[in-house]
């Protein structure tokens, strides 16, 4: 996790302090001494994000961050992204993650921006979503409980 910080030329003490702070912030201190090849896919994802966050970036870009994660790791990722203080850009087909994490959504189809704005408004527009090869997220579909 210190690799990026070391490449930034930071002193050893600052590298250690930042790594420790990032581990505590993310809540994965238990993984600090675990060999990489013993980490699950979800743990590898969280450790990678922790490594980046230790560098104190202003902008972090995530490309399909929930891909290949089990449900528990995906929930941990969402809890990590929700309180982000840095600007985050998320490219994802995981529409429920987008709803939980993002304040703004840009719908792109064949390289063109076709919608830009509030995630619930854009992704809740079934016609718009279907016209561009997407579907309305399940959580935005009203569900009725049948009465017997």
CATH number where 20 lies: 3.40.50.300
Same domain, 125 and 79: no
How many Å apart are CA 77 and CA 122, to the nearest integer?
A: 23
Q: Is residue 117 part of a domain?
A: yes
Same domain, 108 and 96: no
pTM value is 0.78
Query: What pLDDT is recorded for position 125?
Result: 95
Same domain, 52 and 95: yes
Give the mean pLDDT per block of 10 residues along the chain (148 residues). Answer: 89 91 82 83 84 90 90 87 89 94 95 96 95 91 73
- Degrees to nearest 5, angle at CA 17 with 12 and 20: 125
The residue range of the domain holding 11 is 3-102
* Count of domains forming the chain: 2
Q: Is residue 7 part of a domain?
A: yes
Q: Is residue 147 part of a domain?
A: no
């Amino acid at each position: 996790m210190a690799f990026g910080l070391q490449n930034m030329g930071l002193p050893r003490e600052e590298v250690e302090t930042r790594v420790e702070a990032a581990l505590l912030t993310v809540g994965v201190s238990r993984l600090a001494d675990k060999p990489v090849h013993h980490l699950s896919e979800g743990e590898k994802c969280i450790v990678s994000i922790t490594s980046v966050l230790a560098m104190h970036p202003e902008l972090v870009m995530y490309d399909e961050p929930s891909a290949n994660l089990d449900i528990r790791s995906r929930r941990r990722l969402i809890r990590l992204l929700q309180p982000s203080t840095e600007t985050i850009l998320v490219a994802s087909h995981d529409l429920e993650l987008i709803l939980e994490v993002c304040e703004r959504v840009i719908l792109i189809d064949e390289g063109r921006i076709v919608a830009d704005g509030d995630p619930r408004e854009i992704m809740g527009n079934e016609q718009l979503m279907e016209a561009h090869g997407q579907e309305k997220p399940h959580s935005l579909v009203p569900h009725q409980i049948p009465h017997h």
